[in-house]
Structure 1
Amino acid sequence: MSLRALHTLIAIAQYGSFVRAAEAVHLTQSAVSLHIKSLEETFNATLFDRSRRLPVLTEAGHVAVERAREIVALYDGIAAEIGGDNELRGRLRIGAIHTALASTLPAALAALAAEHPHVRINVASGMSAELAVRVEAGELDVAITTEPVRPHPYGLVSTTLYEEGFWIIAPGSLAGQDFRQLLQQQPFIRFDRRAWAGRTIEQELRRMRLRVHTSMELDSQEAIIQMVSSGLGVAVIPLSSHNLAQLGHLDIQPFGSPQKIRRVVLLEREDRPLARLAAALAQAVQRHAPAR
């Protein structure tokens, strides 16, 4: 049994076919088949039901994938564990929401690289809900997301990094209008409800019994700001104090009573296989986080 064969097994479970797994792990399809055959001989068990068009994990296969993820995570954590007290090594696969990528994360990663030059960083972007699923599945080691809202994957723990307030933003020409008028009478540019921030906004609108007229639904904070700046409607988005300082041309009011706050957190699996690397990342982000 080889570590590479375990990576292959995990890839098949993730992508649903030998062909797509082969592309993901940069092997031929025949090499992927050989890896699985070797694992099945080692475990003396059939891992996939091959009677269907696409391979389906057997009960033994599900167990093998779960243990394979644990083994790969432990292997990736060895370098971090055996380094000196102040010397971290290893690879950290990070997922991050777009707002973190556009604000706090670049400076935090630069500081982390300067302090721990032997840490290899991989970064992927996405929505909070999507990134949480990838952490749960072992595709990412950690993710910088908004605080989880239901439904969300189980088996994850979070560390608060910083907070942001939710704000109503409107064209400057509408300054002085009551927030209820703005939200109920103007076209509403909605934060995508697949995102946890979007769900939070929707829940608060319902709680306040505000009916909005959605004209757009976008998953980019920057795009929403541009649409509002162009006079196409009003929106509710999370903003840091740094963001607020850049939006002086817009009318801005707090959203919610009391104002809704979102926490940006670092998500990890409960077993925390790369705890030292994750803690170093969290500290770097907290040092560079904007004040709310």
Structure 2
Amino acid sequence: MNTNDLKIFEAVVESGSFTKAADIMFTVQSNVTARIKSLEEEFNAKLFSRTSRKVELTEEGKILMNYAKQIQHLVEEAKNEIISNETVNGHLTIGCMETTMTLKAPEILLAFGEKYPAVELEFKSDNRDSLISAVLNYKLDAAFVSGPLNISGLEKIKIKEEQLVILASSKEAGLNKLLAKEPMKSIVFDNGCIFRERLESWFSHKGIHNYKSIELNSIEGIINFVDAGLGISLLPEEVVSRYYQGRNICTYSLNKQLGTMTTLLVYRKGKAPSTALQSFIDMHIEDIA
């Protein structure tokens, strides 16, 4: 077995097809079939169940996929460590929520880039559950997520606490009158968003069960819809105070339980981080010390 066999194996898993995997790996389908057969012989196990439409992992295949991700990740880390010598370099992919992307990603990129110019730093935004899954499955090196969090496979560092507020249009006659409208309209991100969860918990606390959610995929869109009076939302207070002070938006405080959000930096447990990731972690430990 060589690492390229595992790359071919992962390509089949990701694409669900031997033909598509061949295209991804710039080879022919017969080679993909041969390499998968070689892996099955080596592990003495059937890795895929094949139908006329697609291929799916067997239970043995799922086990190998988990280890394949770890092996590929370790090989890349080894390459970076050997090449770097005394210079910190490599590639880091960091996950974050949309608000972190807006508020913090630019300054993190600037500060880390100045200190470690040989490291390629990439940010990807998503909801909390997807970010956690991506870290555990080696698709992200680390991620900024909301706490509390207690997952055995992750290390965590507390970064900061943020204050969350209700957002409503200042054109409206006040929050209480807004709450009396039926159905109440909320402007939110997709399911899995911590801000949506907090807003829906607040609705429940207020005894509001008849509401309609308008889903958007950007902070700018949410702000525009709230400004226009199309509904209320919930975001970190810092988003409004730093970037949207001139808009027709009023903010309303929440109780401590719903209004305080702890941001954590999480990464995989069980092995020492790469030099690049450890440098990224250390930079944030220094900032909060």
Conserved? CA contact 2:80–2:89, under 8 Å: yes
Specify whether residues 255 and 54 from structure 1 end up closer, same or farther in structure 2 by C-alpha distance, changes over 3 A only.
same
SS at match of 1:174: coil
**Cα offset for 1:235?**
1.8
Looking at structure 2, the residues matched to 161 and 28 of structure 1 have their Cα atoms a distance apart, in angstroms, of: 48
The answer to whether the aligner puts 1:73 opposite 2:70 as a matched pair is no
Conserved? CA contact 1:161–1:282, under 8 Å: no
**Cα offset for 1:133?**
1.9
Conserved? CA contact 1:104–1:288, under 8 Å: no
Specify whether residues 223 and 111 from structure 1 end up closer, same or farther in structure 2 by C-alpha distance, changes over 3 A only.
same
Give the fraction of aligned pairs with identical amino acids, expressed as a percent. Answer: 27
Specify whether residues 173 and 110 from structure 1 end up closer, same or farther in structure 2 by C-alpha distance, changes over 3 A only.
same
Extract structure 1 runs of 4+ deviating beyond 6 A: 286-289
The answer to whether the aligner puts 1:12 opposite 2:12 as a matched pair is yes
Looking at structure 1, the residues matched to 286 and 102 of structure 2 have their Cα atoms a distance apart, in angstroms, of: 16
**Cα offset for 1:224?**
0.8
SS at match of 2:103: coil
Looking at structure 1, the residues matched to 25 and 128 of structure 2 have their Cα atoms a distance apart, in angstroms, of: 25
Conserved? CA contact 1:161–1:264, under 8 Å: yes
Q: What is the aligned counterpart of 2:243 among 235, 243, 246?
A: 246
Q: Which residue of 1 aligns with 2:223?
A: 225
In structure 2, stretches of 5+ residues that fail to align are none
Conserved? CA contact 1:69–1:138, under 8 Å: yes
Q: Which residue of 2 aligns with 1:40?
A: 40
**Cα offset for 1:138?**
2.0
Q: Deviations over 1:160-181 (max 9, x none)?
A: 3333221111222336x3x444
**Cα offset for 1:147?**
3.1
For 2:265, give the aligned amino acid.
L
Mapping of 1:49-68 within 5 angstroms?
Answer: 49-51=49-51, 53-68=53-68
**Cα offset for 1:204?**
3.2
Specify whether residues 22 and 97 from structure 1 end up closer, same or farther in structure 2 by C-alpha distance, changes over 3 A only.
farther
Looking at structure 2, the residues matched to 213 and 286 of structure 1 have their Cα atoms a distance apart, in angstroms, of: 41
Looking at structure 2, the residues matched to 28 and 106 of structure 1 have their Cα atoms a distance apart, in angstroms, of: 42
For 2:75, give the aligned amino acid.
Y
**Cα offset for 1:216?**
1.6
| RMSD after superposition | 3.2
Specify whether residues 18 and 223 from structure 1 end up closer, same or farther in structure 2 by C-alpha distance, changes over 3 A only.
same
Conserved? CA contact 2:128–2:194, under 8 Å: yes
In structure 1, stretches of 5+ residues that fail to align are none
Report the TM-score when normalising by structure 2. Answer: 0.81
For 2:178, give the aligned amino acid.
L
Looking at structure 2, the residues matched to 18 and 273 of structure 1 have their Cα atoms a distance apart, in angstroms, of: 35
Looking at structure 1, the residues matched to 40 and 3 of structure 2 have their Cα atoms a distance apart, in angstroms, of: 14
Q: Which residue of 1 aligns with 2:262?
A: 263
Q: Which residue of 2 aligns with 1:182?
A: 178
Looking at structure 1, the residues matched to 32 and 215 of structure 2 have their Cα atoms a distance apart, in angstroms, of: 41
For 1:42, give the aligned amino acid.
E
Q: What is the aligned counterpart of 2:157 among 136, 156, 159?
A: 159
Looking at structure 2, the residues matched to 267 and 26 of structure 1 have their Cα atoms a distance apart, in angstroms, of: 35
Specify whether residues 123 and 189 from structure 1 end up closer, same or farther in structure 2 by C-alpha distance, changes over 3 A only.
closer
Looking at structure 2, the residues matched to 159 and 26 of structure 1 have their Cα atoms a distance apart, in angstroms, of: 41
Q: What is the number of equivalent residue pairs in this alignment?
A: 283
SS at match of 1:68: helix
Q: Deviations over 1:222-259 (max 9, x none)?
A: 2111111123222222232x641433332111133555
Report the TM-score when normalising by structure 1. Answer: 0.80
Looking at structure 1, the residues matched to 282 and 104 of structure 2 have their Cα atoms a distance apart, in angstroms, of: 12
Specify whether residues 140 and 51 from structure 1 end up closer, same or farther in structure 2 by C-alpha distance, changes over 3 A only.
same
For 1:198, give the aligned amino acid.
R
**Cα offset for 1:104?**
0.9
